[in-house]
Amino acid sequence: MNKYLELGQIVNTKGLKGEVKINSFTEDNTKFERISKVFIKRKETLKEYEIEKVGYNKNQVIIKFKNINTVEEAETLRNSYIVVDREIFGKLPEGVYYIADLIGLEVYTENNEYLGKVDDIFNTGSNDIYVVKDDLGKQKLLPGIDEVIKKIDLEEGKIIVNLIEGL
């Protein structure tokens, strides 16, 4: 498990006073209001920044960092990632996982047939969809429902699924 979680990506600047627009990777954008410091990840380096103000515009989070006061300074952060130490949010409830922890897990049927690895997870509104890619690059889309996802074992690095009719 990675020590850090990516909360979003800085995609642009906003205004002239150093604010940045962030495409959030979290279901709950108000998480940004509950943290005072984040790391900005560029390439493989992390630098800590203090949050001065959080706002919203449509689907994006707008953040003003302390000591970033011009559009030129904000521009240097574009395409960087907002990262936090996973400990900041505490332990997740039973049966709830960070997507980052599920990507790369091996997926097997209840009969121990290897299907591939979790390549991506996206939400349709009603449930998550697990994109499982086999060694040949063929994708299988699995709904993230209890009837299909039977067991997630982060320690073993695998997910056990029940392939219901139609999958």
80-139 tens-digit pLDDT: 999 999 888 878 888 888 888 999 999 999 999 999 999 999 888 788 999 999 999 999
Mean pLDDT of 1-9: 85
Cβ distance 10 to 73 under 8 Å? Answer: no
Which residue from 85, 74, 76, 108 is spatially nearest to 39, judged by alpha carbons?
Answer: 85
Which residue from 39, 31, 38 is spatially nearest to 90, judged by alpha carbons?
Answer: 31
Q: How confident is the model at residue 27 (pLDDT cuts 50, 70, 90)?
A: confident
Number of H helices, E strands in the chain: 2, 12
Across all residues in the chain, what is the average pLDDT? Answer: 92
Has residue 159 got a pLDDT over 70?
Answer: yes
Mean pLDDT of 48-64: 95
Strands 106-109 and 158-161, by their bridges, are: parallel
Which residue from 30, 63, 61 is spatially nearest to 49, judged by alpha carbons?
Answer: 63
Tell me the domains of the chain and their CATH numbers. 4-89 (2.40.30.60), 99-161 (2.30.30.240)
Residues 6 or more apart whose CB falls under 8 angstroms from that of 109 comprise: 115, 160, 161, 162, 163
For residue 53, the Cα-to-chain-centroid distance in whole angstroms is: 22
Q: What is the pLDDT of residue 65?
A: 97
Angle, alpha carbons 147-148-151 (nearest 5°): 100
